[in-house]
Amino acid sequence: MAIRRALISVSDKTGIVEFARELAAAGVQIISTGGTHSLLEKEGIPVIGISEVTGFPEIMDGRVKTLHPAVHSGLLAVRDNEEHQRAIRELGLDYIDLVVVNLYPFAATIAKPDVTYDDAIENIDIGGPTMLRSAAKNHAFVTVVVDAADYAAVLEEIKQDGYTTLDTRKRLAAKVFRHTGAYDALIGDYLSKLGGDPLPERYTVTYEKVQDLRYGENPHQRAAFYRQPLAKEGNVTTAEQLHGKELSYNNINDANAALAIVKEFREPAVVAIKHMNPCGVGIGSDIHQAYQKAYAADPTSIFGGIVAANRMIGADTAALLSEIFLEIILAPDFTPEALEILGRKKNIRLLKTGELASAEGRKSDWVLTSVDGGMVVQESDVHSITESDLQVVTERQPTAEELKQLLFGWKVVKHVKSNAILLAKDDMTVGVGAGQMNRVGAARIAVEQAGDNAKGAVLASDAFFPMGDTVALAAAAGITAIIQPGGSIKDEDSIKAANEHGIAMVFTGVRHFKH
């Protein structure tokens, strides 16, 4: 099972010259194609052109070169099958023992903002995946390498024994099928979206591993962190970690939740998150003021939480942040002074996100949620409203200040676990009731948390009121205005209660359940 002949054809030529030179030195005959052949020949490495093997020229701009029986017979022949051996001898063919192939850069091509359809299609590799699959299927006899990271290990085995172990070939074959599967999934997704079919009969997705995690939600659960191949900047998967220990499973989820909320705002904003719910959100004239409001919203719950800002963090804000224990701080950037201050805290993670695009006008993405035995897929909730979208349903009109606070509260409550009630005042949250089994229960928690700050605050509800009890509770707490979707068969009960207490109430016509 000695490796005598290798076929090398790579788009990404990282490390290939050194690898091929070592193979040649070990007595391996190298066959190659197109640009790879030219490179190896230029480097003085003995190499045979693919046309010498097939007896057929590379044609159609290189589209057809390896799709030939002389190639695939050499890859697929079962070496201990007498009939296969006879066919190889009679047809004057030869075995190919090692295949080194990586594919046309389809992902990098479609990631270009000005990519054309024709350019994308031209970068769909055909011959490469076919060779990889042939070699991987026949891994009992053929070694196949699709990742430059495996060059060194393969070389070590060849130098030591002249061949690779079956365990190595199995591992590399599995990697090939993962690679070609991901490649095809990306192509299928691209074409499905172009064809207006984002929810096709077969839903195939692919992700790239960022890192293994120490554990999942709890220490007894295994976990890893993956990102989309074309992930856009301004999220957790693309953030640069400037300081602190590695992220945990819960850190990643909380950080993602924090960024989702802070992106709702164009003005300077800071969000504090605990267990994927906001415990404090504030906006201000600058990020320093915004943080002070977010902290004041719930000085207890922010401890051990995650903080996200949508502006650069400077020294003054960093000094305040350093006064409490925080797991993560995310921001577009940090000034050198802020990094120096926060870097004194050994365990805090500092993530530089780059510029955060506002959620306003953002296109929805697809959200995948696993269920036992499958998954459900839905559009992400990127719906936003303006003042003109509101319907005033009470006798009293909200004041300009109340409208401002109602819209602020609505941006935040959509990110709170249902049933959700949020109280807002002075450009900050003052009470959050999250994840309760009934709406009035969520309201009680929000009011209790707000205390005296409930007086003069506004209330935002992620879904309609099934009865008037929440309005009565709000009135008793001194709340002056309410924003909710409306749409209950008992809307009139809530409207009547609001009128009786002099509360202004507006309907949005849209709910924001978050499970």
Q: What confidence tens digit (pLDDT) does each residue in 4-51 have? A: 999 999 999 999 999 999 999 999 999 999 899 999 999 999 999 998
Residue with tokens 């856009």: 232
Residue 170 has pLDDT above 80, yes or no: yes
Locus of tokens 């919203």: 297
- The answer to whether residues 438 and 461 touch, using CB atoms and an 8 Å cutoff, is no
Res 76 pLDDT > 70: yes
The secondary structure of 243-271, three-state, reads ECCCCCHHHHHHHHHHHHHHCCCCCCEEE
- Would you place residue 361 in the very low, low, confident or very high pLDDT band (cuts 50, 70, 90)? low
Of the candidates 125, 164, 160, the one whose C-alpha atom is nearest the C-alpha of residue 144 is 164
Percentage of the residues of the chain whose pLDDT score is greater than 90? 84
Q: What is the mean pLDDT of residues 185-191?
A: 94
**Active-site residue, selected from the candidate residues 13, 68, 137, 383:** 137
- Whole-number pLDDT of residue 122: 92
- Of 271-285, 329-343, 354-368, 485-499, the least confident: 354-368
Residue 275 known to be catalytic: yes
Task: Say how far apart CA 70 and CA 62 lie, in whole Å.
Answer: 17
Q: Which two tokens stand for residue 138?
A: 């026949």
- Tell which wins on pLDDT, 189 or 365: 189
Tell me the average pLDDT across 114-136.
Answer: 94
Q: What is the pLDDT of residues 389-443, one digit of tens each?
A: 999 999 999 999 999 999 999 999 999 999 999 999 999 999 999 999 999 999 9
Q: What is the DSSP letter of 238?
A: G
Beta bridge partners of 7: 31, 99
Q: Which of 68, 84, 275, 345 is catalytic?
A: 275
Give percent of the chain with pLDDT exceeding 70.
99
Whether residue 190 is predicted with pLDDT greater than 80 in this model: the reply is: yes
Active site residue 137: yes
Tell me what pLDDT residue 56 has: 83
User: What does the pLDDT read at residue 234?
Assistant: 86
Between 50-64, 128-142, 201-215, the lowest mean confidence (pLDDT) is in: 50-64
Predicted structure pTM score: 0.88
Report, as an integer, the average pLDDT of 476-489.
96
The predicted-structure confidence for 230-265, as pLDDT tens digits, reads as follows 888 889 999 999 999 999 999 999 999 999 999 999
pLDDT for position 55: 83
Residues in contact with 398: Cβ distance below 8 Å, sequence separation at least 6, in sequence order = 392, 406, 481, 504, 506
Query: How does the average pLDDT of the chain come out, rounded?
Result: 94
pLDDT for 102 equals: 93
In this predicted structure, the answer to whether residue 364 has a pLDDT above a threshold of 90 is no
pLDDT surpasses 80 at 267: yes
